[in-house]
Structure 1
Amino acid sequence: MLIALDAAEFAYLARVQHDLLEPLLGTPEGRAVYDAALRRIGIGLALLDLPLLLVVGAASYVLALFAVRPLVEAREREARFAAEAAHELRTPLARIAGLTQSPPPDALERIARIAVDAAQTVGDLLTLVREETVAARLSEPVDLASVARTAVAELARDGVRYDVAASDGAWVVGDERRLRRLADNLIENASRHAAGTVRVEVAAASHAVLLSVEDDGPGVPDAVRARIFGRFVRGSDEKAGTGLGLAICRTIARAHGGDLTLEGRNRFVARLPPFEV
């Protein structure tokens, strides 16, 4: 397109110069003046196009980056998922293979238990990938206090006492199903590490609604506090869970415009934007 415009403009200006110099074109001097005029026209058009070409080139490069970025990120997520799944499944598969070599009396029971654990790991990985890639439907008012009470009622463990302080009016905007998973994971995590008590609190604070879950267990070890929300990071009980629950919780909280933090020894606090009428 630009070349066609330049060609048309060059032809027009060359014609103008030809008409002006036509009486002299039969002489060497006139022809030299005409050739010099054509060179000036060509150089002028080139200098005029250069900044435009630079701008267009830079804009095209930036647009290409934005267009390709989702594909690159999707490929990176795919590679990360494959690597993490392979890493986490290597151990259970090796254990199953070992049990088949010299099977003990309870081999089938142990293999079934290992398979269930491996399936849970894969399920949590898929959940995490899905939470990272699917935007939350941030249009539904959700009673976070009701979500927390329901989660406690369904997840309560024998031998653990649950103190629930959930004030009315703690409404947020979000996807109730995903917020339910956030509460479930936090309460289940606390139940697993509690010595005897889990405290769940939902309250409206300044510019946020807080969901805090705390247990009276040993707390998060200092060695893992800085990376407790990373993938496959476990706290004091290395054998429990997949190490993905807290990563899923933080991803859900951030998808809703909030965040999840660790405060004190073992108090996890999700801060979510409130629903405003």
Structure 2
Amino acid sequence: MIARLVTRYLLLFLVVLIALDIVAYIFVGRIYAGELQPALGTPEYARAYALAMRNVAITIVLFNVPLLALVGLLSYVLARVTIRPLEMARQRERDFAAEAAHELRSPLATIAAVAQAAQQQTDADLHASLTTIENTALDASEIVADLLTLAREPSQHALHREILDLAILTQQCAREFEKRAINSSIALVIQTESALVQGDERRLRELLRNLIENALRHARSVIRLRSNANGRFAELTVEDDGSGIDAEIRERIFERFYRTNGSEGLGLGLAISRWIAYAHGGALTVADADHGGALFRLRLPAITTR
């Protein structure tokens, strides 16, 4: 593709260059004809004019050769710059398709296996098999929904915006995880201040659940949830006291299907969460917590009250 693009650039330049060469040749020829006007019609005129024009042609050719080489080099650089984003986009599409196929293969294989086994089962066992099929199909459906979400640009997704208080949202989501936290001997510390935003409640709940879920997997003893309004922005932070996240992979954890060693899940939660933040005109970042562990910070445009 690069060679084809370079060839096109060179052909376009060559057409323009030939046109300019012809114009220059004619223009210089008229100048020489004017200077040799007194000798017009003599053998000396013909020889002098032919020699002058031959020198003009040689000069044009000698000028064109390095110019074409330079343009060829610049065309190659331009082609690389032009093609690189397309190559990256195509690679992302290939990776996306491969990853989607890999993640969907497991639940679909489970459905097929259980369905085949159900044909040989009694009525008592059949209900359990159908329940397994239903739950696995729902898991596959959720994977497809997440993949379709990530395939869209955040700016192209319609959000059902309403006025929300991140403090209330945080408290409500935290209550959903209280039992799990207690069973895991992890304390949920909630320190919230009112922080009003225009947001999609369902999506922001999903984002916060993903962050709390992630914190529960890595925390040793405590998770801290905070919200506050800071000037033009509303902030929500989820902090754990786990082992933290190495600086070199802090951006990679927001990529689709990225999983750290030994982690569970499909690796879509944080990618979805950042997508939701971007769709709201905000940002989701991660840094070191003050006392070790990871600190995820959601920042959204705030609604200021007077």
Q: TM-score, normalised on structure 1? A: 0.68
Deviation at 1:250, TM superposition (A): 3.7
Matching residue of 1:147: 166
Structure 1 gaps, min length 5:
none
* Structure 1 residue aligned with 2:224: 199
Q: Equivalent residue of 2:36, what SS?
A: helix
Aligned to 2:208: 183
Indicate the SS of the match to 1:261.
strand
Partner of 2:271: 247
For the pair 1:109 / 2:128, whether they are aligned, the reply is: no
1:99 Cα shift? 1.6
Q: Is 2:140 the counterpart of 1:97?
A: no
Deviation at 1:202, TM superposition (A): 1.7
Query: What pairs with 1:1-277 in structure 2 (closer than 5 Å)?
Result: 1-22=16-37, 24=39, 29-46=44-61, 68=83, 71-103=86-118, 104=121, 105=125, 106-130=128-152, 133-135=153-155, 146-153=165-172, 156-157=175-176, 159=179, 163-168=189-194, 170=195, 176-177=199-200, 181-190=206-215, 198-203=223-228, 210-214=235-239, 219=242, 226=249, 228-230=253-255, 231-233=257-259, 238=264, 241-253=265-277, 256=281, 258-264=283-289, 266-270=293-297, 272=299
**Quick one: distance in 2 between partners of 1:185 and 1:95?**
25
SS at match of 1:243: coil
Shift in Å at residue 77 of structure 1?
A: 2.9
Which stretch of structure 1 is more off in the superposition, 60-69 or 86-95?
A: 60-69
In 2, Cα distance between equivalents of 1:120 and 1:148: 28
> Is the 8 Å Cα contact of residues 233 and 300 (structure 2) preserved in structure 1?
yes
Q: Report the secondary structure of 2:113's partner residue.
A: helix
Which segments of 5 or more consecutive residues in structure 2 lack a partner in the other structure? 1-15, 182-186
Give a deviation string over 1:54-85, Cα, whole Å, max 9, x none: 77667766665565555444433322221111
State the identity as a percent: 40
Q: Distance in 1 between matches of 2:300 and 2:72?
A: 41
Q: Normalising by the residue count of structure 2, what TM-score does the alignment of the two structures yield? A: 0.63
Counterpart of 1:247, as a letter, is A
1:95, distance to aligned residue in structure 2 (A) = 1.7
Cα distance, 1:98–1:232 mapped onto 2, change above 3 Å: farther
SS of equivalent residue, structure 2 residue 266: coil
Aligned length: 263
